Amino acid sequence: MKQNEAAAALSVWVALESPTSHAAGLNGMMDLVQKDVEGLPIAVERIPGRDGLGDMVLLRAGLDNGQPAVAVMSHLDTVHPVGTSAKELPVRIEGDRLYGPGVYDMKGGAWLALQAFKQVAVAGAAKRPTVFLFTPDEEIGSPTSRAIIEEIGKGSAAVLVTEPAREGGKIVTARKGVGRFEVKLEGRPAHAGSRHADGRSAIREAAHQILAIEGMTDYARGITTSVAPMGGGTAANVIPQHAWFSVDCRVTTLADGEAMEKRILALKAHDPDVAVRITGGMNRPPYEKSPMVAELFEMARKVAAGVGFDLQDCPMTGGGSDGNFTAALGVPTLDGLGIDGDGAHTLQEYALISSIAPRQALIKGLLETI
Ligand SMILES: [Zn+2]
């Protein structure tokens, strides 16, 4: 496929808006995937969505020789609300850049990996079964797809994740673990003027808790905590009865994840008259660059050299992905194999059209070599 044809085909995917909460958009994306493989030697399984989220599509191809598979994983949800492409981020080409909601994270990677998957399926070039899972909910922590991601991971010799490339084409071989917590506080309301002493401010208590939680950040150990969003109170002249906030926590090791979860869940109220309820925990375990991951990376370097470029990996990144789930199970996982570009989760999001062909060739080579 010529470069401009590839950009046009990818633009169709980007123009169909599919934020995680918009099941109809996600189902439309799954339809596009199915349409793209029609008539090819690829088995299609559609898995209905649940909890109001979109469907999943699972493709299978290649030999059925009892060997563990090589699996590709892509999410088709984006963080951009419906209407973004009509206003702040129109789908458009400017030079080598294709702009649009989710083009970099990660419709570009999903699209080019599917083209590679099709090429390998048609040529019968893989040494083992190949599977490709498209999911609808990565951007909210994969609540409905995690179980199938882990199930496919367990049956695979390697997992290839098509999250965006970093810093000029680098791939990802390690990611921090991610925790999410919700904190709800309930104090005692009172008139802020006439009955101030009777009130027990949920917001004042929240302030103490927020400083304690943010104080757990330890850059030397790669541990960060941050609070957002937050809210509380009803009016300026009322001592607030309620307050709430969310916590994001990142760690580099499983042990740190367990320790941080314990510390955050064990926080006690500073003011005994305010109830503090904390829920949540570690959502994505850390993805560490094990010897098996390093070995798979060396294989990818050789494939890339054959394609004609020097493949690098980047140091442990702070962002989590579905690669964390499979890597934590001990399955060799490579991530960041998707399209190059910049501006993930922003209104300047774009992908580099010139990166489609080499990245597609890299994934094709991996599907044939692993
Ligand atoms: Zn992503």
* Ligand 1 centroid – CA 240 distance (Å): 38
Domain edge (last residue) among 253, 284, 315: 284
Q: Are 287 and 192 in contact (CB under 8 A)?
A: no
22 and 125 belong to one structural domain? yes
* Ligand 1 centroid – CA 321 distance (Å): 7
Taking residue 341's Cβ as centre, other Cβ atoms within 10 Å add up to 23
* Ligand 1 centroid – CA 106 distance (Å): 5
- pLDDT tens sequence across 189-206: 999 999 999 999 999 999
* Ligand 1 centroid – CA 191 distance (Å): 47
pLDDT of residue 190: 98
111 and 44 belong to one structural domain? yes
74 and 163 belong to one structural domain? yes
Environment of ion ligand 1 (residues, CB < 5 A): 105-106, 163
* Ligand 1 centroid – CA 269 distance (Å): 37
What CATH number should be reported for the domain holding residue 202? 3.30.70.360
* Ligand 1 centroid – CA 137 distance (Å): 10
Q: Which domain holds residue 91?
A: 3-175+287-369
Cα Rg of the chain (Å, integer): 23
Does residue 41 register a pLDDT over 90? yes
What CATH number should be reported for the domain holding residue 344? 3.40.630.10
For residue 167, name the pLDDT band (cuts at 50, 70, 90): confident
* Ligand 1 centroid – CA 129 distance (Å): 25
Taking residue 36's Cβ as centre, other Cβ atoms within 10 Å add up to 17
- pLDDT tens sequence across 202-260: 999 999 999 999 999 999 999 999 999 999 999 999 999 999 999 999 999 989 999 99
For residue 170, name the pLDDT band (cuts at 50, 70, 90): very high
- The pTM is what? 0.87
* Ligand 1 centroid – CA 243 distance (Å): 31
Does residue 168 register a pLDDT over 90? no
**Mean pLDDT value of segment 77-97:** 97
- pLDDT tens sequence across 52-72: 999 999 999 998 888 999 999
